[in-house]
């Protein structure tokens, strides 16, 4: 099966390129925006909106090759429905965050670089990037990568776009590797405290078990198994626990979309995402939800605790991101060490010399 649409530079592409060139000439900031579902993420939004929602469509899809190329403004739900009809999926389970009428787009999925519950076992969105077509800060149409895994000699620019928050270019097309849906899955539930859950997850991590996702909250550990029927059945038997049947899919979807009660914030609270080694012990920083086998810790804290959170993350050999907060004066991302900071700035200079793309979205001085 193959779907084809006109992939040549069309009126929409020409209009986008003209906007970029005019903005660069006038040094006018542009805010690249898809459906707006990730507007909360990052620093304060600045610039005239460059709306990508008109740039939609599937460029090509080869189910037998496990590759899809899609325009950046395409709704993520539309792509997922197309894949599901062929028994395939985006295994990293990108969150939509589509509340308030916002619609996640493929371009926003890549620019945000966010991943769902299965990330620790299957990889991140960047690991499934095969190629991109983009507009740089001069309005030039650039092509990187392609539609196969081993097609890159030198720097892999396609993967560089994942998590860049639109600061390097305007994504036009994205080529992604997809995978078949697992033939079987099961969710097991265990009663244990955080320390015991982290120890158990690390023990299971040394075993040949089809563990696909995990979540600990309020002394309950949820573990999702995915894979061949025989492997899932054998793991259920050896691991024990209570089987979660009818509510399993709802549980993992609510976790992916941050619709679980834990993620509801009071007016004076902030949500922090800590990336730490999965072997790190409990951090004891307040209300906590643990994912990714212990490597991702969500913490709710009162506003103003940024120093405490970041110090704790550093002591655990990790880093902290201010994921949701009404206070945009606090840096969202941890400061970069000088070598990485220099690389970031040089890349920005090469892709966006006039500095018009999503200024200050990642860092106040970037």
DSSP secondary structure, 204-234, as one string: HHTS---EEEEEEETTEEEEEEEE-HHHHHH
Q: Rg of the chain over CA atoms, in angstroms?
A: 21
What average pLDDT does the chain have? Answer: 93
- Position 148 scores a pLDDT of 57
Report how far residue 239's alpha carbon sits from residue 12's, in angstroms, rounded to the nearest whole number: 54
Residue 53 neighbours by CB under 8 Å, 6+ apart: 34, 35, 73, 103, 105
Residue 291 has pLDDT above 60, yes or no: yes
- Position 197 scores a pLDDT of 98
**What percentage of the chain carries pLDDT values higher than 90?**
87
Containing H/E element for 255? helix 248-256
- Position 147 scores a pLDDT of 62
Residue 152 has pLDDT above 60, yes or no: no
Q: Residue 272, CB half-sphere, CA atoms under 13 Å: how many?
A: 32
Beta strands (DSSP E) in 63-219 are 67-71, 88-89, 129-135, 141-145, 170-177, 179-180, 184-191, 211-217
Report how far residue 353's alpha carbon sits from residue 20's, in angstroms, rounded to the nearest whole number: 12
- Position 83 scores a pLDDT of 98
Residue 153 has pLDDT above 70, yes or no: no
* β-pairing verdict for 179-180 and 88-89: antiparallel
- Position 328 scores a pLDDT of 77
Asked if residue 131 lies in contact with residue 151, where contact means CB atoms within 8 angstroms, the answer is yes
Per-residue pLDDT tens over the stretch 248-286:
999 999 999 999 999 999 989 999 999 999 999 999 999
- Position 137 scores a pLDDT of 97
All domains of the chain, ordered by start, with CATH?
11-180 (3.30.465.10), 184-256 (3.30.70)
- Position 146 scores a pLDDT of 74
Lowest mean pLDDT of 289-293, 327-331, 359-363, name the range.
327-331
Containing H/E element for 351? helix 338-351
Per-residue pLDDT tens over the stretch 41-90:
999 899 999 999 999 999 999 999 999 999 999 999 999 999 999 999 99
Per-residue pLDDT tens over the stretch 173-200:
999 999 999 999 999 999 999 999 999 9
The pLDDT confidence band at residue 246, using thresholds 50, 70 and 90, is: confident
The pLDDT confidence band at residue 165, using thresholds 50, 70 and 90, is: very high
The pLDDT confidence band at residue 10, using thresholds 50, 70 and 90, is: confident
Lowest mean pLDDT of 7-21, 200-214, 266-280, 347-361, name the range.
7-21
Residue 7 has pLDDT above 50, yes or no: no
- Position 176 scores a pLDDT of 97
């Amino acid at each position: 099966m193959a779907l084809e649409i006109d992939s040549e530079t069309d009126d929409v592409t020409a209009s986008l390129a003209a906007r970029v060139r005019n903005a660069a000439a006038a040094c006018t900031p542009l805010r690249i925006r898809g459906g707006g579902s990730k507007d909360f993420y990052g620093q304060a939004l600045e610039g005239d909106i460059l709306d990508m929602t008109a740039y939609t469509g599937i460029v090509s899809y080869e189910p037998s090759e496990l590759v899809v190329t899609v325009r950046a403004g395409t709704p993520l739900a539309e792509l997922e429905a197309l894949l599901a009809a062929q028994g395939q999926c985006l295994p990293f389970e990108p969150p939509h965050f589509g509340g308030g009428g916002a619609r996640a787009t493929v371009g926003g999925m890549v620019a945000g670089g966010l991943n769902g519950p299965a990330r620790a076992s299957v990889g991140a969105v960047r690991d499934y990037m095969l190629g991109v077509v983009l507009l740089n800060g001069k309005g030039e149409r650039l092509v990187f990568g392609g539609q196969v895994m081993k097609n890159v000699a030198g720097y892999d620019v396609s993967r560089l776009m994942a998590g860049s928050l639109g600061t390097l270019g305007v994504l036009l097309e994205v080529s992604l590797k997809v995978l078949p849906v697992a033939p079987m899955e099961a969710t097991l539930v265990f009663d244990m405290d955080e320390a015991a859950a982290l120890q158990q997850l690390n023990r299971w991590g040394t075993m040949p078990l089809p563990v696909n996702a995990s979540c600990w909250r309020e002394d309950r550990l949820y573990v999702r198994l995915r894979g061949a029927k025989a492997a899932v059945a054998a793991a259920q038997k050896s691991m024990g626990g209570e089987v979660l049947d009818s509510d399993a899919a709802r549980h993992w979807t609510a976790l992916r979309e941050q619709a679980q009660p834990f993620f509801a914030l009071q007016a004076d609270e902030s949500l922090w995402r800590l990336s730490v080694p999965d072997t790190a012990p409990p951090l004891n920083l307040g209300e906590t939800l643990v994912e990714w086998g212990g490597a991702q810790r969500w913490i709710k804290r009162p506003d103003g605790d940024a120093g405490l959170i970041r110090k704790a993350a550093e002591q655990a050999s990790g880093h902290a991101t201010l994921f949701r907060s009404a206070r945009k004066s606090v840096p969202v991302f941890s400061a970069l060490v000088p070598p990485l900071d220099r690389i970031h700035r040089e890349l920005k200079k090469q892709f966006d010399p006039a500095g018009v793309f999503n200024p200050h979205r990642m860092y106040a001085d970037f």
